[in-house]
Chains A and B, each alone.
Chain A
Amino acid sequence: MSEHLMVALGNVFDPVNFLFLAVGVAAGIIVGALPGLTATMALALLVPFTFTMEPGMALMVLGGVYVGAIYGGCIAAILINTPGTPSAIATTFDGYPLTKKGKAEHALVTAAFSSGIGGIFGAIVLLLLTPLLAEVALKFGPPEYFWLAVFGLTIIATLSTGSMLKGLMGGAFGVLLSTIGIAPIGGDMRFTFGFHQLQAGVELIVALIGFFCIPEVLLMVERKFNRYGSVTYKPQKGVAKSVILELLRKPVLLLRSSVIGCFVGIVPGAGGNIAALVSYNEAVRFAKNKSKFGTGTIDGVAAAEAANNSEVGGSLVPLLSLGIPGAAPAAVILGALMLQGLRPGPELFSVFGGITYTFLISLIFANVVMFVLGFYGSRHIARLINLSPNLLAPMIVFLTVIGSFAIRNNMLDVSIMVFFGLVGYLTKKMGFHPGPICLGLILGPILENGLVQSMLLGKATGSMFHVFFTRPISMVLIVLSLVSVTLPAIASLRAWNQERKGGVSTA
């Protein structure tokens, strides 16, 4: 490990690499700051710019984009009460009231500082925890991978926004999409409809660009409006120092929020928005003076921002060790890894240790860069929020086309991307979010390899039951899957019963 760390430190401190990291962070902050453009979108749109780079450098840039975009969401949240990314929703609760009081600078400095602290905490947890979890993955055989995929699918379904049933349907649809192409065992050519380009299956990044970018663009233009709101904010001198000193006197708040953010990040399917909301609630619960929350206190901003940036590191823990993204943006990182020929799991920490540790260590520094850029640059970035969605929408479509083409120099990929995008918009309007569909697409191959190989194993040993239901790690995963499906089902049944008893007022 130590030799990998030396290689990694050398890579991170290479001036050219570091410059690219900073460019990635800046690009992330800008995209994140624009309302309607999510962190997932920032990554999906920018992956095509990185795949001609060396793997280490490409991952540094993308890590920077991820960190920057999650932070960038706070700027619009604070200044115009519109979260720039979904994970900044909780930041509006106290951030915007601060702006109304004329204390926008207080909120922005708090956000930059606590994002930096949370982000560094998450990155350190990622660095320490992932190699250990990857070791556990060494003990996984086909049945364990099968149950892991089942667990991943159930949990995304339950945690996804809106209805659990729709989440499960999305997951099943995603798994179905993942079976396009040559079957892993048996070699059948499935659902290719005569297109030889489909033999290798649907390219993950192409699907992610379609599902996460086009629907957002259509949502931007479906209504007639010029801009989100105009930003008027004047910087104040001397605020930064006093705010940072005040935050330093609240280590428990920052630490608790970071821990919550990181933990929520590790759970597959729960993204930065959930991390920040949970952390905000806990901050209110532990506060002595609860009434100040929601009226503009820096504590609320700090709780939300430390959590959503800590979630970045957390969401990459299950991704790098097991191949299961902890949040939607992490799914794009998975796509980027696979484009570079890297597969999540123990190999990342042995054979490709140099690249992996470069990525992990660069994330820590990305947070430092993010703090500096956020601290000095947020007033300039704030002006971009005034950019009209009517100009932005065509530009994003343009970027999705160029990006989906460039991955395999293939116009069919562009058509597939647009098709998924239109499907994604319609399903999103019906309450099916793209998250579960894309997780199904990612988990499909893990599920299929695990299931088919386990069945062959069962046939060979003569006992299917033994293969699927007696191994200890499998049992744990089965129990977890059952819990993650039954708990929300009971909760929603109870809510529905209460609704019926309470009359038809909400129907």
Chain B
Amino acid sequence: MSSSYSEMGRLVPQVAAAALAVFSVIQLVVAVVQRKEERPFAGVVVKRLLVLAAGTVAYIVLILYLGFLFASFLFLMFFFWFLSLGQEERPGVLRMLLLAVGISLGFFLLFNNVFLVPLPQGLWFGG
């Protein structure tokens, strides 16, 4: 932490950081003493998880370039399709398409025209 903050400005960040450090050390000691084997990620399908996490980050970047409406459509369509891969019951492509178009367009119109929140137009579309 920068020491350039004033005395009162750094008080709480320092106290909170110190508390966090102390609790962490105690937690570490407790964990070592107890030696409980924990496997929090057991049974997780890593591919689904990572693709959704990365896809969400990509979605934000896409919004900046393609605008909210188009990026949302792509995001929804891709993940409706991707997450249903290999499932016993898959919704049909037409149903996914209608859902993706309906949701992205419906909310776009609601926020843009009713709530008057201007959603990003995207750099490629002059927004």
Contacts and interface: CB of A to CB of B under 8 A. Distances in A.
Given A218-B52, A401-B63, A422-B53, A395 B13 contact: no
A98 interface: no
Interface string A434-478: 000000100010011001100110000000000000000000000
A464 B9 CA distance: 18
A444 B12 contact: yes
Interface string B8-50: 1111110111011001101100100011101011011100110
A401 B59 contact: yes
Given A190-B13, A222-B48, A398 B6 contact: no
Interface residues of B, number: 63
Contacts of A507: 34-36
A398 B80 CA distance: 12
B16 A217 contact: no
A402 interface: yes
Chain B contact residues: over half helix, strand or loop, or mixed?
helix
A173 B20 contact: yes
B8 A415 contact: no
Contact of B83 (A172, A390, A411, A414): A390
Interface residues of A, number: 62
B9 A190 contact: yes
Nearest to A165: B27
A422 B60 CA distance: 14
A176 interface: yes
A124 interface: no
Contacts of B119: 402, 405-406
Interface stretch (A125-133, A178-186, A321-329): A178-186
Contacts, number: 169
A160 to B, nearest CB: 13
A179 B104 contact: no
A397 B6 contact: no
B120 A394 contact: no
Given A169-B23, A397-B56, A452-B11, A411 B6 contact: no
Contacts of A188: 5-6, 9-10
A391 B57 CA distance: 19
A333 B37 CA distance: 39
A444 B13 CA distance: 10
Contact of B40 (A390, A398, A411, A429): A429
A455 B10 CA distance: 13
Nearest to A183: B9
A397 B9 contact: no
A411 B63 CA distance: 9
A226 B88 contact: yes
B116 to A, nearest CB: 7
A440 B44 CA distance: 30
9 contacts: A168-B19, A173-B20, A221-B83, A226-B88, A226-B89, A388-B89, A390-B87, A409-B117, A507-B34
Given A218-B53, A226-B87, A388-B84, 5 more contacts: A172-B23, A185-B8, A221-B48, A223-B43, A406-B111
